[in-house]
Structure 1
């Protein structure tokens, strides 16, 4: 998501301040409101307020509580390679602002700002925030993504700016009987956050049944061991509440299935009592989402259900993260 840069504020200010409105009548040019003294005053005020707003966006306040409306500095505690293009990055929220933060239920994210070129992108913490203010982000570096490359290049101990939390989707336990989660690559992070909340927060007797179908292009791209170990532990201790299938292209050893998330796997996950309230959540690359459930609309809204899910009869709802 692109945002106005600090460098553009001067140009924006100047364009607002110098704007005039004119019309032509009988060969004469007449000044409108923007050409009058009052117009220059209003234009100047608009320019100043716009510049101040952009300056506030660009400037992080180290003592301001973490907020969705402004950036706060956090420290990189660790940055560990988990594959050739992925890293597990741990951020630390300062103790002085931690008590003032109220984190929502899953699923939520934080926006990280690239201070070099003033862009931001949301990332979903793997487990929410720990009691001491640690946030774990699993970040992939894409060839066409400046944000991923920037985070991968930051050294341990450096300060970065974040804002949030931003509620991506609100978990309500009493709304669903079954939740089917379909993920590709780092798109599994919101589902790890949700399952961590359900199975690690003393709610082992949740009435909801969960099914996770997650896929990767190679073993190099699977989640870090801590994530995979959690999936294994939660499914073994809650066999009637959590079923997990992992798909890795070209891999058939152990508990992995070769290929991508298939239509048959989705049909099996959805096979349940017609009276049950079933939700399908999906997160991953656009190509996968388009093929399985159809794309979002141009403005980012959900759009109709298409693709593989659009052909499967049954009573269920779909939400594209």
Structure 2
């Protein structure tokens, strides 16, 4: 198995948004100083989340090679209204899929709209073909690489749109280019603990179910953290209520005195969730910081945990 790659990436490109009659947002993409990309569509996944998909890359281009090796996106919105003319806002987003061959030429990523999110609300508010409103994307920039190709277990503990790197890895493992016969030989055991405020906010649930049906070594646990939210959906979950240390103990077990270098636990989600599970990141919000939270209480080691 090749080393695992995750990224929030910088691709030298720019896109100009315009809206079509069917209310989908379409973007024209241009590689800076090189050739032109085909269009990509932005459309609502839920009332608070959007998908951007189908950025077409020339299979022979250097950019395509970079994406095949592991990638993500940075979405940069330039608010060029009169009052915002000098303001540029940059946010990192991890792509939902990797390009694993010369034939795979599209990428897709998930953006959630927050009430105080400048970039996501920029997408939500966009209603016209205003030429002064631009979205720029650049990448890729590698975020995390696990050099050990002998992993036998990967654990994801994620919340909300933190499911994105999970989907990226699952699509790489279980995508159309992977034969069913090779699954048990090339893919480590995977456990996914997915926290969401409501059933409606469990993103890409059907895709998760599809992959879990392909491989008995893929184990998914879903937790609804806010019982008061609208949970009328028929999505099956393992728990409604706050994630507790006994839940982790039941689903992933205790740590041991010795560092297990054949298992990695990846934590991705809101800062408060990451802090409760694995301790805060460093003061710069980039470095890992000390291991803390539930995982430390369960006996895991710093070397076994990575905060995406």
1:265 to 222, 232, 247: 247
Q: What displacement does 1:230 show?
A: 2.1
Q: What are the ranges of 5 or more consecutive residues in structure 1 without an aligned counterpart?
A: 1-59, 66-71
Shift in CA distance, 63/310, structure 1 to aligned 2, threshold 3 Å: closer
Q: Does the alignment pair 1:124 with 2:94?
A: yes
Q: Which residue of 2 aligns with 1:185?
A: 160
Q: Which residue of 2 aligns with 1:142?
A: 114
Q: Does the alignment pair 1:317 with 2:304?
A: yes
Shift in CA distance, 244/320, structure 1 to aligned 2, threshold 3 Å: same
Deviations 1:284-315 (A, max 9, x none): 00010111111011122101111111111256
Is the CA contact 2:110–2:161 (under 8 Å) kept in the aligned structure 1?
A: yes
- 1:33-52, aligned counterparts within 5 Å? none
Shift in CA distance, 156/301, structure 1 to aligned 2, threshold 3 Å: same
CA RMSD, Structure 1 to Structure 2 (Å):
3.2
Q: Which residue of 2 aligns with 1:77?
A: 40
SS at 1:103 equivalent: helix
Shift in CA distance, 162/91, structure 1 to aligned 2, threshold 3 Å: farther
Shift in CA distance, 282/106, structure 1 to aligned 2, threshold 3 Å: farther
Structure 1 range deviating more: 84-93 or 124-133:
124-133
Q: What displacement does 1:98 show?
A: 4.6
Is the CA contact 2:39–2:56 (under 8 Å) kept in the aligned structure 1?
A: no
Q: What are the ranges of 5 or more consecutive residues in structure 2 without an aligned counterpart?
A: 1-28, 80-86
Q: What displacement does 1:97 show?
A: 7.8
Which structure's residues are more often helix, by fraction? 1
Structure 1 range deviating more: 100-109 or 230-239:
100-109
Q: Taking structure 2 as the reference length, what is the TM-score of the superposition?
A: 0.70
Q: What displacement does 1:261 show?
A: 3.3
Deviations 1:43-84 (A, max 9, x none): xxxxxxxxxxxxxxxxx964535xxxxxx9766532222222
Is the CA contact 1:106–1:193 (under 8 Å) kept in the aligned structure 2?
A: no
Q: What is the CA–CA distance in structure 2 between the aligned matches of 1:88 and 1:151, rounded to whole Å?
A: 11
Is the CA contact 2:152–2:263 (under 8 Å) kept in the aligned structure 1?
A: yes
Q: Which has the larger radius of gyration?
A: 1
Q: Taking structure 1 as the reference length, what is the TM-score of the superposition?
A: 0.68
Is the CA contact 2:72–2:141 (under 8 Å) kept in the aligned structure 1?
A: yes
Aligned length: 252
